[in-house]
Amino acid sequence: MSMLSVEEALRKVLAWAAEPVDSERVPVADAFGRTLAAPLAALRTQPPFAASAMDGYAVRSADVTAPGARLTVIGTAPAGHAFAGRVGPGEAVRIFTGAPLPDGADAILIQENAEATEGGIVAHSAEPPGRFVRAAGLDFRTGEALLPAGRRIDPRAHALAAAMGHATLPVRRRPRVAILATGDELVRPGEDARPDQIVASNGYAVAGIVTAQGGEPIDLGIATDDFSALEQAIEAAEAARADVLVTLGGASVGDHDLVQSALTARGMQLGFWRIAMRPGKPLIFGSLGRMAILGLPGNPVSSIVCATLFLVPLLRALVGDPAAGEDRSEAATLTVDLPANDMRQDYLRAMLGRDGDGRLTATPFGRQDSSMLRVLAEAQGLVLRPPHAPPATAGTVCRVLRF
C-alpha cells in the first residue's frame, strides 16, 4: 500500500465519522466542554426589563435638560428590588446598577453628576432620554436561536446558555476512547523496570487529548507482544463499547509488530496504513464494526503528533463539530534556515515568538528525533514543511500549528 498524503488520510478519517455519536441531556452545570447536539434558543428575554446601567438616580429627562435642576428623591431601587411607585415631575429615585427602571423615569443621572441636598439632589448635567438605560431585550429576546448545534460549550457559551434560562442542555455524549499501549519493553510509571525496558508515557498524553476534546478515555493498560494478549485487549475495547480504539506501538511490520495482524484477524476493515509524514509514517486507521481503529506509532513524539493531527479531528467530528477538519495552522516567519524536504510532510517541533513588528515567528529545534519528549514538551508548536519543499531561509513565511 502506497503512502497517503496527510490531507487524504484526514479526509478518510472524517468520512468515517460523518455520523455523530448519540445525544443526551445534561444539567447546565455539567455541560462545560460538551458539544451542543441541537440549536439553543433563549427561554427568556435579557434583560427582562429596562435596567439601570450605572449607580445614580432614575429621572425624567424632561426634568434635567440643563445643569442645576433640583429633584426630590422619593425612594430607592437596589438590584433585585424594583421601586413600586412612579417617578413624577421633579422627582428622582436612588437606583443601583441592574435595578429595573421605575415607571415614569427614562434616564439615569449618574451619581458622579449629582449632588445630594436636604431631601433631594442637584443635577450637574443634562441627561437625554435613554441615558445609561439598558433597554429590555438589549442582549437577546425569547425565542432567538443564539447557540448553534456543534458549538462547544466554552466559558462564554456556558454563561450564555445559563442566561438564556436553560437548566439542561442537549449535548453529544462523550465519545469513549479505549487506549492500549503495546510492547514487551513497557512498564507503568513506578513499576520496577529491567535495564531493557522503558516507562510507558504515550497513553497519558492520548488520555489528556481525549479528555480535552470532551471524550472519555478508557485505560486498557499494556499488552505484551503476544497475539492472545492483543486479542484480549481488543475484546475488552469492544466490551467497553468504545467508539475509538487507540493502540500505541506495534503499528509497523516488524516481527514483533502484531497489532495490525491481531486487528485484521478480529475483522478490522483497513482504511489506510502508511502516511507520507514525519514523524508518524506507520499509522493505522480502520474500523471494527462501529469502532474506529487508530493505531499510533510507538515513538512518543510520533504518537502525540499523530494524535494531534488525526485523533483530535476524529473526536470533534464524532460530537458533530462542523469545523472538525478545518486547517488550524497559521502563518509565521522562520528565524533559521531549513534544508529542502523529501517526499514526506514534516512537522518540526518549534519555539514560537514575536518579532519587532509583532509578527509570529517560529524557531525549529535543531534535533527532531521522534523519541525526544523533552523537546516536544518545550515546543510551542509545529512547523509544517510540505513534501518536496525547497530550502527555506530565515525570514521565509511558513505555516505553524500551535499546541
Q: Is the bond leading into 20 cis (omega within 30 degrees of zero)?
A: no
pLDDT digits (tens, 9 = 90+) for 40-73: 999 999 999 999 999 999 999 999 999 999 999 9
Query: Between 251 and 302, where is the model more confident?
Result: 302
Question: 245 and 182 in one domain?
Answer: yes
Whether residue 104 contacts residue 95, with contact meaning beta carbons closer than 8 Å, is answered with no
Residue 12, in any domain of the structure? yes
The average pLDDT across 136-147 equals 98
| Residue 196 sits in the same domain as residue 273 | yes
DSSP for 44-68, written as a single string: S-BSSS-EESSSEEEE-GGG-SSTT
Same domain, residue pair 184 and 279: yes
The enclosing domain of 112 has a CATH number of 2.170.190.11
Q: Would the pLDDT of 403 be above 70?
A: yes
pLDDT for res 2: 76
Q: How confident is the model at residue 251 (pLDDT cuts 50, 70, 90)?
A: low
* pLDDT confidence band for 175 (50 / 70 / 90): very high
In terms of domains, do 157 and 69 share one? no
Structure confidence at residue 374 (pLDDT): 94
pLDDT bin (cut points 50, 70, 90) of residue 215 is very high
Q: Is the pLDDT of residue 256 over 60?
A: no
What's the domain range around 39? 24-46+149-172
Q: What is the pLDDT of residue 119?
A: 84
Residues 180 and 268 in one domain: yes
Angle of CA points 293, 295, 299, to nearest 5°? 160
User: What pLDDT sits at residue 125?
Assistant: 95
Mean pLDDT of 387-391: 97
Query: In this predicted structure, what is the pLDDT of residue 169?
Result: 98
Q: What is the model's pLDDT at position 220?
A: 97
